[in-house]
Chain A
Amino acid sequence: MSHDDFHGRLEDDRMVTGSGTYSLDWDFPQAAHAWFLRADRAHAQIVSIDASAALAHPGVIAVLTGEDLQAAGFKSLPVLTIPTRPDAMKPLLPFRPCLATGKVRMAGEAVVCVIAETQQIAMDATELVSVEYKELPPVVDALDALKPGAPQVHADVPGNLYWDYDDGDQAGTDALFAKAATIVKHDLYNHRVIGNPMEPRCCISEYDAAKEQYFLYSPTQGPRIQAAMVAKVLGVPTDKVDVVAKDTGGGFGIRSAVYPEYCVTLLASKKLGRPVCWNGSRSESFLTDNQARDFICHGELALDDKGKFLSMRFYMVANNGAYLAPTGLLSQTRSVTSCITGVYDVPVAHARIKLVATNTAQVAAYRGAGRPIMSTMLECLVERAAIDLDMDPVEIRRNNLIRKDQFPYAMTNGTTYDCGDFEAVLDDALAAADWKGFEQRRAESAKRGKLRGRALSTYIESTAAGGIPDEAQLRFEADGTLSLFASSHSHGQGHETSFAQVVSRVLGLPMKTIKLRTGEAGMRVGGGGTGGSRSMVSFGSSFFLGAQEVVKKGKELAAKELEAAPADITFDHGEFSIAGTDRRISLQNLIQKHQGTHPHPLDSSSANKYGMTYPNGAHIAEVEIDPETGVTDIISYIAVDDIGNVITHALVEGQMQGGLTQGAGQIFGEHAIYDRESGQLLTGSFMDYPMPRAVLVEGLQIIDHPVPTALNPLGAKGVGEAGCTGALPTLSNAILDALRPVGVKHFDMPATPQRVWQAIQEAKAGRPSAMLSYTLEYA
């Protein structure tokens, strides 16, 4: 495919001139305003709620509590379940209310909703609500929560264990470990982070009594999926809910979910007969958005006496928080283990993951959704093996890669990789990074008093196609434009450009006449949303097939116009012609001949399921540490990625930059910290929670190494999260490489200046593993 049709994104004019339409930009002057009283403590019984003073406050319209929601028949906020083996433990799914009833389980949990004429009045009145609590001791650490006698978060989750998840072949793995010449073990903590999209969580809710229809204007990644989740809570058919959105200010997975406030305000709108607006604050997003990671990880690698990997096994403890978010099971289990042994030729492996309830915010899908947990564990374990066994970090990897001739490659955990060329990707990265010139660069850094480190890491991840058929509709409008409909909503990716490009390349129509429409009221298209790096793979493919359907219909119309048989018509560069003649008619001409008819004879659609794809790559980072301050800089970062066929390199590069930056953000500072005594979130604002800045990721080099997949007609693999999945292990290993010469053996992220400096001081004092947060035993 040619790439010369990219001239910037179609959505950019709107975005950079401040004329986007975000959730609260929809105009509802008659809306009432909601504000939520939130739990000021992490764990307590609710003894009583007295809202009389709030109700008496001038301008207050209504107050809703958990009891009102129960009376309205509200169901639990939903959890997407995943298939389990018949013999395995089933996950426990405690009720998750939209407003706390009986008990609060995390600081920030919504308890009461006050609705007033203005936001200011609602906020004032919220302070007049008095809640009597009976304090309970909180537990915020996952290992603490598993201890006997720990505070119980849910009565129906004994021992705070939501799920004891098991994947792979334990007996086969144990047999291979028994034969091992060496077993290498490694522990690490993949710490908790908060997504922080630019647009805080918010909504406008409207109920149309005449149509008995709910309309939710909120940030979203997939309007129809979100509508289905809202409908579950309300106890109505999905068709009775419309999620409406034009622009969404970032999502990263956490805006794919349904949240309590959406459902409460929809009920309020129904009760009051007017729209209800909730202008959620940044503080509320910090406290109660789905959070991410928080995995205590232990991995073991069995090797033979030649350094060949025999098997791997993992034991992990995931802090899932006070409730299960919609993706709280999937992202913490199968998403972690699907690529259980990475790019390595190790078909037999085993993993056990305990999902634990604590008095913290719910943890769920966030860029990479589980895959960065495994990529980090795996590549830090392999790096540990190279160090412990004094093997070359390139050769230990190269000697164990799945070879090109081994595809399709099936593992005992049910995953089959369809294609790849891992060694070629590795070699590209080594060449681009001048791997052999490192020692000279390290010496040069040392002259300036700096510690230089470098690391190579590989990654592979599954991108989440499959599930339900993803539908693309193409409709030729009366104004001559072509509308594309899908439920894959952009939250920054550039769908308007990339889907238009796919269609434009098939039909030869100008990009500017093709309009993507994803979040409109009344729109009914099937399929998932944006998430799991699936949009181009699945919706892109459906648009590609849908556009081909237009060509097929066009051939029949052209055949009539040209008085020929459809089989004799060819289509090229937007024109139909009779093969071997100069008789032709353009698609544009055919569109115009029928312009204004509904349905237009060329209208088409396509709905298909596509197989999981496995983007992979080799990343090499060089970092430099100022040992005097602990400040660490990324000097260079080479990412060579096989994401299959590249539709538009600029958009791929944008996704990779975003993913790498998000990974770097976690590695260098982002960290959600809860106070172990009080259960309060200590990093609840940008004063305490550092976001990555542009200077952190200067000098990224992103190189495509496409190995097309046959699993979808575009030959594309997902790219949205690959950068993050690759960046966490690569940067972790590079930082440890820089610190090893001064005696550091273990270093858990984040690499804040304080922690890096402390690691150096601890190593000097003979404590090389002082910065290791947890250790586990495989069992």
Chain B
Amino acid sequence: MYAFKYAKAKSVADAATSIAADPDAKLLAGGQSLIAAMKLRLSQPSALVDLGNIADLRYTRIEGDTLVVGAMSTHAFVAACADVRKAIPALAALAGDIGDRQVRNMGTIGGSIATNDPAADYPAGCVGLGATIITTKRKIAADDFFGSMYETALEPGEIITAVSFPIPKRAAYIKFKNQASRFALVGVFVAETPAGVRVAVTGAGPGVFRVAEMEKALSAKFAPESVANIKVPADNLNADLHAQADYRAHLVTVMAKRAVAKASE
């Protein structure tokens, strides 16, 4: 780790001011990606602005037909929250299976989606449920929020404050874990939402993506066999030590099938 300055923000406004003053400063949410990168000297921020003391960013609440999750809600908090477990059990299960116990007690939903690791779980949950990302400046549809790996629609100084999830009729997330890191080698989130069926895939490509052909087939009939023969092209998928692109493409189909089966339980 390189030396850096550290400040605890008292409020979102305070954090926005601090981050605006120093272009090399970074926001610290749960730190589960950032701190690891800093320890390996792969990341060298001049300063960290810690959002950890801002209590009013940690909440979940039902607002009509949506579930709103504060940006600094930890994965463990979301997983255990009665509102989430009742309204969107698939989201609670997703949060409860991120990383390990230590990661879940530190990592946050805001930090996860702002980082947009290509193998992270929350991007699949956000896109799969058709969520809206709420920031200090605007509201962004999840479909427009996530870019390629580690890229988002966030502008410099823009801070995520909450994520709003439409409550689906049914949903499920199934991931195939990388044997070593336990990140998603392929994760598929399937939901039947008020706005239609959505299928979001994480881990397989450079960023989260939807599978239109599966969504169409599931709209016609929400059953595992509807997606069993739909293959995604391997061309743009990740290929690495752990999985070749054709294997990832195959797993998208298998995980989608299993997610539909689980959502149908």
Contact = CB atoms under 8 A, between A and B. Distances in A.
Contacts of A52: none
Interface string B197-236: 0000000000000000000000000000000000000000
A624 B250 CA distance: 20
B179 to A, nearest CB: 4
Contact of A754 (B2, B3, B41, B247): B247
A630 B243 CA distance: 11
B244 A690 contact: no
Contacts of A424: none
Interface string A745-764: 00000001110011000000
A70 interface: no
A752 B176 CA distance: 13
A84 interface: no
B180 A689 contact: yes
Interface residues of A, number: 23
B242 interface: yes
B229 to A, nearest CB: 13
Interface string B227-265: 000000000000001111001001100100000000000
Contacts of A752: 179, 242
Contacts, number: 41
B181 interface: yes
A758 B40 contact: no
A746 B143 CA distance: 45
B179 A629 contact: no
A753 B250 CA distance: 12
B186 to A, nearest CB: 10
B241 A629 contact: no
Given A124-B2, A673-B241, A754-B247, A629 B254 contact: yes
Nearest to B180: A690
Nearest to B251: A629
A283 interface: yes
B2 A629 contact: no
DSSP majority for the B interface? loop
DSSP majority for the A interface? loop
A329 to B, nearest CB: 31
Given A687-B180, A690-B180, A754 B254 contact: no
Interface string A97-138: 000000000000000000000001001100000000000000
Nearest to A689: B180
Interface string A698-723: 00000000000000000000000000
A688 B251 contact: no
A629 B243 contact: no
A491 B134 CA distance: 52
A669 B179 contact: yes
B138 to A, nearest CB: 34
A395 interface: no
Contact of A629 (B1, B176, B181): B176
A67 interface: no
Contact of A686 (B180, B250, B251): B180
A682 interface: yes
B40 A283 contact: yes
Contact of B254 (A628, A689, A690, A758): A628
* 7 nearest A-B pairs in the assembled complex, by CB-CB distance: A690-B180, A690-B179, A687-B181, A669-B179, A754-B243, A754-B247, A628-B254
24 contacts: A120-B3, A123-B41, A283-B40, A628-B254, A629-B176, A629-B251, A629-B254, A630-B247, A669-B179, A686-B180, A686-B181, A687-B180, A687-B181, A688-B180, A688-B242, A690-B179, A691-B180, A752-B179, A754-B242, A754-B243, A754-B244, A757-B247, A758-B244, A758-B247
Interface of B: 1-3, 40-41, 176, 179-181, 241-244, 247, 250-251, 254
